[in-house]
Chains A and B, each alone.
Chain A
Amino acid sequence: EAQVTQNPRYLITVTGKKLTVTCSQNMNHEYMSWYRQDPGLGLRQIYYSMNVEVTDKGDVPEGYKVSRKEKRNFPLILESPSPNQTSLYFCASSLKDGSYEQYFGPGTRLTVT
Chain B
Amino acid sequence: AQSVTQLDSHVSVSEGTPVLLRCNYSSSYSPSLFWYVQHPNKGLQLLLKYTSAATLVKGINGFEAEFKKSETSFHLTKPSAHMSDAAEYFCVVSDLGGYQKVTFGTGTKLQVIP
Contact = CB atoms under 8 A, between A and B. Distances in A.
A48 B106 contact: no
B40 interface: no
Contact of B104 (A40, A43, A50): A43
Interface stretch (B64-72, B74-82, B93-101): B93-101
A40 B9 contact: yes
A50 B106 contact: no
A99 B99 contact: yes
Given A35-B104, A58-B101, A101 B49 contact: yes
Interface string B25-38: 00000001010000
A45 B43 contact: no
B113 interface: no
B100 A98 contact: yes
Contacts of A70: none
Tell which of A41, A50, A97 has the most Cβ of chain B within 10 Å.
A97
Contacts of B6: 42
A45 B106 contact: no
A44 B4 CA distance: 12
A4 B22 CA distance: 30
A22 interface: no
Interface in B38-73: 43-46, 49
A64 B100 CA distance: 18
A74 interface: no
Contacts of B44: 43, 90, 92, 102, 104
Contacts of A99: 32, 94, 99
A42 B34 CA distance: 14
Contact of A97 (B90, B98, B105): B98
Nearest to A105: B43
Interface in A58-113: 58-59, 90, 92, 97-99, 101-102, 104-107
B7 interface: no
A33 interface: yes
Given A50-B100, A101-B34, A104-B45, 8 more contacts: A41-B106, A42-B6, A59-B103, A90-B43, A97-B98, A98-B99, A98-B101, A99-B94
